[in-house]
Amino acid sequence: MPRIVVDVMPKPEILDPQGKAIVGALPRLGFTSFSGVRQGKRFELTVDGEVTAEILEQARRAGTTLLSNPVIEDVVNVELLAD
């Protein structure tokens, strides 16, 4: 069944404590090439049947109303997952 992916990230100006802790841990394991980490969330919405433009729009609205907290997060991507 088709799935729609919704990616949510903390807003760039908002502190991301998790990302900060992870970027601190990376060099200890020898991963020295990364100067920043921000941790977001990925949602997969399963659709029974064909994904229409209307359904994609619904996913977008679900992203901004329920899946993300618009005060501190942005929906950065909504797309149909290729099988």
Q: How far is the CB of 15 from another protein (least distance, A)?
A: 4
| Shortest Cβ 1–another protein spacing (Å) | 24
Sequence-ordered alpha helix ranges (H) in the chain: 17-25, 53-62
- Nearest distance from residue 39's CB to another protein, in Å? 7
Answer whether 43's CB lies under 8 Å from 6's CB: yes
Which letter does DSSP use for residue 27 in this model? G
Count Cα atoms within 13 angstroms, Cβ side, for 17: 0
Nearer to another protein, 21 or 81 (CB): 21
- By CB under 8 A, name the binding residues for another protein: 10-18, 20-22, 24-25, 28-29, 39, 69, 71-72
